[in-house]
């Protein structure tokens, strides 16, 4: 007995689905399953009071198929086991102590290990389960599969009596003594549940020499052992017969026992033909360990010990079938079969959360092909070990803020990665590696966490390192001079002294003569500057950011500008040096006197007579730094040295106002001469302007002239000349390229007829930007905007000569703007002609149309066309291009067409099983879609009625609760295409079979035609079921509306018929008719006398019957003593009782028999025995 928790009812009660699995030995017993049983429900209180009685119906029953080859008839000849299943829902009020459920029944079959009563069975059995407190909301374990408890004598056999638990609770197996039940002598075969429950339930009692742990005997070498973890039970039985065995499963959750269920079964030990037990083995050991996340694979091999039989491999367990609450990735194992040897691979890709202490159990079974077959089992325990990961985290725990440190995971796997987490710091590198760098940029405290991640993605435990973040000193400020004079000595620098801290000085482009904590003295240093650096370190070793002091090294170095040859006795000759702000200048003149400007950066000098002299200056800058003396030698002479001419040496022809100059000396005149051009200003000045002439070579030259007034003597320089090249101007004057185009045309190229080594500046309406090829003599332009444009270009030669601006006008005609195509994009066959499609464009344009999928169309060249679509195609397309009167093409407008050719093909209608339903099957004959389907039916003489609407992807429907025996039914499938038109399939009509029976139980059948298949029906066949047996083919090649006469046999009490119609050609579908059944009332014929005188005439007493289902006869003498019993109507009573002839006389018979509905009939009377 099992139960399944279904949840809470609306009133708060708990709902359970309770099921009972019952087996009976139909070889030894004639007692059938009870149609209804009574379940007693008891409170788990001190008195165990009954709280309710619930009736459970028999849901179904079936024969238990023996294992092995279906062609083996050994079991069929020796055993028969029938399985019955009862089920019902109960509702229980919440109760902390829980409930007990029982069902009591008698009697067990005759068993070898339990005693009978007076030769008849009298020990019953109790089906029991316990529902714990409502707080658990528990479902009980359930034994998996249906047992086939057959084994061979003197053979060791394994039975897998395993269970699964829906909640994933722990299960333990053990052998137990089965419960006792009803008693024919006291409470009856199926007593009503008593008012109170007596616990513990009384167990059965064994024959001497048998126990619950030795149910096959204690003194004969028998073996019965159950694996407490898997339920795999090993049995060796040295004697044949039937034995009662009990297996109990104990369910616990977190160490708390929740429930117990039992399998109370009869094991049949048979005298089997010789057949060795098959072998089974694994390529690995029976106990395996894997790391969580790891993949485990191994082979399982089964071998037939007789080397000539088929062997079959199978496997089961939670990791394969998901039972016992197993979740996650399941293992794979393919059942396999082969001759003599077969191997199949087990593979399990474990998940990280599959790790646990207890093993996972997988049971593999090998079955040979013997008659009867033999089995062997292999239990494999798989331990999934959790991935722990290293907890060794190395790195400093005292750190300085804003500093970086290395942390490392130690003793981890080489194939692992790592997950890191930092508090009040930033990981700057190595985020997935075993080593990271952390920048501690937050406030105290800090922490580093690490966990190892296996190569399979499983996480280890977190390892944590607490970190104390120490504050670093603030950046030190260096005090001292920021500008010094070169070679200045005794320079000192310092910072604030903080007790307990240390200081580290460094310097660049200089040296220290000494450092002492926060003070430093400079040794040597160099221009232009040197830099001091200072780091302060506190008691924790935390260093500050570096403090900087940049010191400029000042060293003034004046230089003197002015003439070096002077006409004697010249006055107010100017000499200058660089004017530095804040500097003063000390000038000195030899051979002359300072007329003005001393201490400034510019002086005037009056020179004396012919001879040598000098001008010198010393600068003292604003920092007090004194320069070295700067000296300019002077020659007072009548032969002057002319200074260089300053001005361009490459000019363009006809350039004007080109300036040339030389050094101006007071009292001097400059005599200029220009070749190739014209001096336009300046005459005797030190600066002139020139207008240059045509291409060629030119020059500018001058002589410097002065006059010594004292000595009345002229001073004159030699001629100073500057050669000038006069370059030609550009002559390009024409732009080539298209001047009228369409908007968005391909790129246009424009070229100017100038040399390629010149530079060209192009512009469009004066804008030189975004021009491809700018600077070259050829450009590319993308005209994306309609309008009129001025395209211009100006050439500049390598010599820098600029040509005139050359331009041209470009007209860009607009691209046509066409609207999308308007018109229906979905066409159905019924609307395929005269479909109008239109675009809007310019009135002066023409329109080029292309149509795919049409029979024909008209309107080419205009903005509107009429199309006659081809209805046989499934798609089409329309394309149109507008062409303006300027020849410009618009964008291609495209309209993709869908031609919806929805057509529904009703394949068949067929009466289902049982025949209160109709199966309708259809398909779409084209590559079409339907939004939904409406199934419609019309009965004879009626209108179409909608019976269901299904989704457009469903192509089969079963109509239930329909009477198929009255008349044929016509069906059609209706849908709507995308044009809104209703589309119907063809109509199909099922076959109706009808018939009559006469008084002699003979039958006449007749059936209607199947209508709807295009090519009709190829064949009608008649199928027959006799006395609830499966249908078999009876006749074929039948014709509708033609009588079919059939005779009945006297042993037949029920006959059913169906017609099977097959489609001619086409898809070769088929259809079943309704079912018509004939039931024959039973009749018994009993003689009144017989003469057992061995003359072979009436020597035995027997009866005849028609349409008998089940039959029993008993014969009694006048004292009520039963002399004979039989359930075989064909068997005769030969009057012998206890080995002696029964004397002549009158005897009483009692006959019980049933009809097709299992209705019970009785007949009694007397029979005369005449000798």
Q: Which CATH number belongs to the domain containing residue 201 in this structure? A: 2.60.40.60
Rounded Cα distance between 329 and 448, Å, is: 34
The overall average pLDDT reported for the chain is 91
* pLDDT tens-place string over residues 451-487: 999 999 999 999 999 999 999 899 999 999 999 999 8
pLDDT at 807: 96
Edge-to-edge strand list for the sheet holding 463-470? 398-400, 463-470, 446-453, 417-423
- Assign residue 1097 the CATH number of its domain: 2.60.40.1220
Name the 3-class secondary structure at 1146. Answer: strand
Instruction: Supply the pTM of this predicted model.
Output: 0.45
The count of domains in the chain is 10
Indicate whether 1063 belongs to any domain: no
Whether residue 931 is predicted with pLDDT greater than 50 in this model: the reply is yes
The pLDDT of residue 728 is: 93
Rounded to whole angstroms, the Cα distance separating 18 from 1 reads 7
Do 400 and 381 share a structural domain?
A: no
915 and 965 in one domain?
yes
Q: Tell me, yes or no, whether 243 and 102 share the same domain.
A: yes
Domain boundary among 691, 721, 751: 721
Task: Assess whether 38 and 92 both reside in one domain.
Answer: yes
DSSP state of 603: E
Confirm whether 85 is domain-assigned: yes
Q: Which tokens hold the place of 615? A: 């001008």
Q: Are residues 782 and 688 in the same domain?
A: no
- Half-sphere exposure for 731 (CA within 13 Å, toward CB): 3
Q: Is residue 864 predicted with pLDDT exceeding 90?
A: yes
Q: Give per-residue pLDDT as tens, 223-278.
A: 999 989 888 888 889 998 889 999 999 999 998 999 999 988 888 888 887 778 89
For the segment 479-534, what is each residue's pLDDT rounded down to a tens digit?
A: 999 999 998 898 999 999 999 999 999 999 999 999 999 999 999 999 999 999 99
SS (H, E, C) 279-308: EEEECCCCEEEEECCCEEEEEEEEECCCCC
Residues 622 and 500 in one domain: no
Q: Is residue 730 part of a domain?
A: no
Helix (H) or strand (E) holding 319: helix 318-321
> What does 389-451 look like in DSSP terms, one character per residue?
---EEES-SEEETT-EEEEEEES--TT-EEEEEEESSEEEE-TTSSEEEEE--SPSPEEEEEE
Task: Dig out the tokens for 328 from the structure.
Answer: 């996650």
Confidence at residue 1049, expressed as pLDDT on a 0 to 100 scale? 80
Number of CB atoms found within 10 A of residue 858's CB: 12
998-1027: per-residue pLDDT in tens?
877 789 999 999 999 999 999 999 999 988
pLDDT digits (tens, 9 = 90+) for 1150-1160: 899 887 677 88
The arithmetic mean of pLDDT across residues 881-893, rounded, is 95
Residue 966, SS3 per DSSP: coil
Handedness of CA 587, 589, 595, 601 (dihedral sign): negative
Tell whether 997 is covered by a domain.
Answer: no
Tens digits of per-residue pLDDT, 710-760? 999 999 999 999 999 999 999 888 999 999 999 998 899 999 988 888 999
Does one domain contain both 292 and 343?
yes
Last residue of a domain, one of 879, 899, 919: 899
- Does the residue 1160 lie in any domain? yes
Are residues 892 and 789 both part of a single domain? Answer: no
Q: Band the pLDDT of 406: cuts 50, 70, 90.
A: very high
Please give the distance of CA 496 from its chain centroid, rounded to a whole number: 65
| Segment 49-72 mean pLDDT | 74
pLDDT in tens, 555-575: 999 999 999 999 999 999 999
Task: Note down the domain range covering 687.
Answer: 645-721
Q: What is the pLDDT of residues 252-267, one digit of tens each?
A: 999 899 999 998 888 8
Among residues 211, 229, 228, 232, the alpha carbon closest in space to that of 220 is found at: 211
Tell me the CATH number at 410. 2.60.40.10
Residue 1073 lies in a domain: no
Asked if the bond preceding 107 is cis, omega within 30° of 0, the reply is yes
Among 238, 270, 302, which residue terminates a domain? 270
Residue 225 maps to a domain: yes
Shared domain check, 375 and 428: no
Q: Is residue 53 domain-resident?
A: yes
Same domain, 70 and 148: yes
Question: Please, is 129 exposed, middle or buried when counting C-beta atoms within 10 Å of its C-beta (0-12, 13-18, 19+)?
Answer: buried
Judgement on whether residues 1160 and 1145 belong to the same structural domain of the protein: yes
Same domain, 742 and 869: no
pLDDT digit string, tens, across residues 76-132: 666 677 778 888 899 999 999 999 999 998 888 888 888 886 556 678 899 999 999
């Amino acid at each position: 007995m099992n139960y399944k928790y279904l949840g809470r009812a609306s009133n708060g009660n708990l709902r359970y689905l309770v099921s009972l699995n019952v087996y009976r030995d139909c070889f030894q017993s004639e007692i059938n399953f009870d149609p209804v049983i009574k379940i007693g429900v008891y409170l788990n209180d001190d008195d165990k009071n009954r709280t309710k009685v619930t009736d459970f119906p028999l849901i179904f029953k079936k024969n238990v198929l023996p294992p092995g080859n279906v062609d083996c008839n050994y079991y069929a000849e020796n055993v028969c086991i029938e399985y019955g299943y009862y089920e019902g829902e109960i509702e229980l009020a919440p109760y902390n102590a829980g409930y007990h459920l029982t069902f009591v029944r008698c009697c067990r079959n005759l068993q070898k290990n339990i005693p009978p009563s007076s030769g008849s069975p009298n020990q019953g059995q109790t089906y029991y389960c316990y529902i714990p407190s409502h707080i658990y909301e528990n479902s009980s374990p359930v034994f998996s599969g249906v047992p086939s408890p057959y084994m061979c004598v003197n053979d060791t056999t394994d039975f897998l009596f395993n269970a699964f638990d829906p909640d994933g609770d722990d299960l333990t197996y053990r052998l137990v003594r089965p419960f006792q039940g009803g008693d024919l002598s006291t409470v009856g075969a199926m007593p009503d549940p008593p008012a109170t429950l007596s616990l513990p339930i009384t167990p059965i009692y064994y024959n001497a020499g048998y126990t619950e742990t030795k149910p096959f005997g204690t003194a004969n070498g028998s073996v019965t052992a159950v694996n407490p973890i898997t339920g795999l039970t090993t049995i060796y039985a040295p004697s044949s017969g039937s034995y009662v065995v009990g297996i109990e499963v104990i369910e616990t959750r977190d160490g708390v026992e929740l429930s117990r269920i039992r399998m109370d079964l009869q094991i049949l030990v048979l005298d089997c033909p010789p057949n060795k037990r098959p072998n089974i083995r694994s390529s690995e050991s029976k106990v395996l360990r894997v790391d969580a996340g790891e993949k485990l694979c191994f082979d399982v091999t089964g071998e037939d010990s007789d080397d000539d039989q088929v062997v079959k491999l199978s496997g089961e367990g939670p990791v394969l079938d998901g039972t016992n609450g197993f979740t996650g990735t399941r293992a794979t194992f393919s059942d396999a079969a082969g001759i003599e040897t077969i191997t199949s691979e087990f593979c399990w890709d474990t998940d990280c959360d599959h790790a646990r202490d207890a093993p996972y159990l997988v049971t593999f079974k090998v079955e040979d092909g013997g008659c009867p077959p033999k089995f062997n089992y292999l239990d494999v325990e798989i331990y999934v070990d959790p991935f722990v990961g290293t907890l060794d985290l190395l790195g400093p725990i005292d750190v300085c803020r804003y500093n970086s440190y290395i942390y490392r995971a130690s003793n981890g796997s080489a194939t692992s990665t790592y997950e890191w987490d930092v508090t009040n710091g930033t990981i700057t590198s190595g985020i997935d590696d075993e080593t990271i760098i952390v920048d501690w940029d937050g406030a105290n405290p800090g922490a580093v966490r690490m966990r190892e991640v296996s190569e399979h993605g499983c996480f280890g435990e977190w390892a944590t390192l607490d970190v104390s973040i120490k504050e670093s000193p603030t950046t030190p400020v260096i005090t001292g001079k920021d500008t010094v004079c070169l070679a200045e000595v005794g320079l000192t620098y310092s910072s604030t002294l903080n007790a307990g801290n240390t200081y580290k000085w460094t310097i660049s482009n200089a040296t220290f003569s000494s450092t002492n904590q926060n003070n430093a003295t400079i040794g040597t240093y160099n221009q232009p500057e040197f830099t001091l650096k200072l780091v302060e370190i506190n008691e924790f070793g935390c260093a500050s950011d570096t403090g900087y002091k940049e010191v400029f090294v000042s060293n003034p170095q004046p230089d003197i500008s002015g003439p070096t040859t002077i006409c004697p006795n010249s006055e107010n000759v100017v000499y200058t040096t660089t004017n530095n702000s804040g500097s003063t200048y000390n000038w000195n003149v030899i051979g002359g006197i300072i007329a003005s400007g001393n201490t400034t950066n510019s002086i005037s000098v009056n020179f004396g007579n012919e001879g040598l002299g000098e001008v010198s200056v010393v600068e003292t800058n604003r920092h007090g730094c004194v320069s070295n003396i700067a000296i300019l030698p002077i020659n007072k002479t009548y032969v002057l040295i002319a200074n260089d001419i300053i001005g361009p040496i490459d000019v363009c022809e006809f350039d004007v106002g080109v300036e040339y100059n030389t050094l101006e000396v007071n009292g001097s005149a400059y005599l200029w001469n220009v070749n190739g051009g014209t001096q336009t200003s300046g005459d005797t000045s030190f600066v002139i302007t020139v207008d240059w002439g045509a291409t060629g070579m030119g020059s500018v030259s001058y002589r410097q002239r002065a006059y010594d007034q004292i000595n009345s003597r002229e001073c004159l320089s030699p001629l100073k000349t500057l050669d000038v090249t006069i370059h030609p101007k550009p002559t390009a004057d024409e732009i080539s390229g298209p001047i009228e185009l369409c908007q968005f045309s391909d790129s246009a190229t424009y070229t100017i007829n100038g040399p390629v080594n010149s530079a060209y500046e192009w512009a469009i309406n004066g804008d030189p930007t975004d021009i491809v090829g700018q600077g070259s003599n050829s450009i590319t332009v993308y005209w994306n905007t309609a309008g009129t444009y001025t395209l211009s270009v100006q050439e500049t030669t390598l010599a820098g000569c600029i040509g005139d601006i050359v331009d041209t006008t470009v007209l860009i005609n607009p691209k046509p703007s066409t609207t999308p195509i308007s018109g229906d994009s979905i066409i159905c066959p019924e609307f395929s002609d005269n479909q109008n499609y239109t675009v809007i464009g310019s009135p002066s344009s023409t329109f080029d149309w292309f149509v795919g999928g049409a029979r024909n169309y008209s309107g080419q060249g205009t903005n509107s066309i009429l199309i006659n679509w081809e209805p046989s195609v499934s798609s089409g397309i329309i394309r149109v291009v507008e062409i303006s009167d300027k020849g410009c093409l618009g964008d291609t407008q495209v309209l993709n067409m869908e031609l919806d050719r929805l057509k529904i093909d009703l394949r068949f209608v067929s009466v289902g099983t049982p025949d209160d339903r109709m199966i309708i099957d259809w398909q779409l004959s084209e590559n079409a879609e339907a939004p939904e389907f409406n199934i419609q039916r019309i009965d004879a003489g009626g209108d179409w009625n909608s019976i269901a609407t299904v989704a457009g992807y469903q192509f089969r429907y079963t109509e239930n609760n329909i009477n198929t025996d009255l008349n044929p039914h016509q069906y059609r499938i209706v849908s709507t295409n995308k044009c809104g038109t209703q589309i119907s399939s063809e109509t199909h009509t099922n076959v109706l079979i009808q018939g009559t029976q006469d008084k002699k139980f003979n039958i006449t059948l007749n059936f209607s035609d199947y209508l709807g298949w295009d090519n009709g029906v190829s064949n009608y066949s008649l199928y027959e079921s006799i006395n609830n047996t499966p249908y078999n083919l009876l006749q074929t090649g039948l014709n509708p509306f033609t009588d079919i006469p059939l005779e009945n046999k006297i042993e037949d009490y029920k006959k059913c018929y169906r017609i099977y119609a097959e489609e001619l050609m086409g898809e070769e579908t088929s259809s079943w008719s309704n079912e018509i059944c004939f039931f024959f009332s039973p009749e018994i014929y009993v003689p009144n006398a017989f003469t057992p005188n061995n003359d072979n005439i009436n020597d035995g007493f027997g009866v005849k019957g028609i349409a008998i289902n089940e039959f029993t006869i008993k014969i009694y003498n006048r004292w009520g003593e039963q002399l004979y019993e039989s359930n075989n109507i064909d068997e005769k009573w030969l009057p012998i009782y206890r080995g002696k002839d029964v004397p002549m006389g009158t005897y009483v018979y009692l006959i019980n028999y049933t009809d097709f509905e299992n209705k019970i009939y009785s007949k009694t009377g007397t029979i005369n025995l005449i000798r």
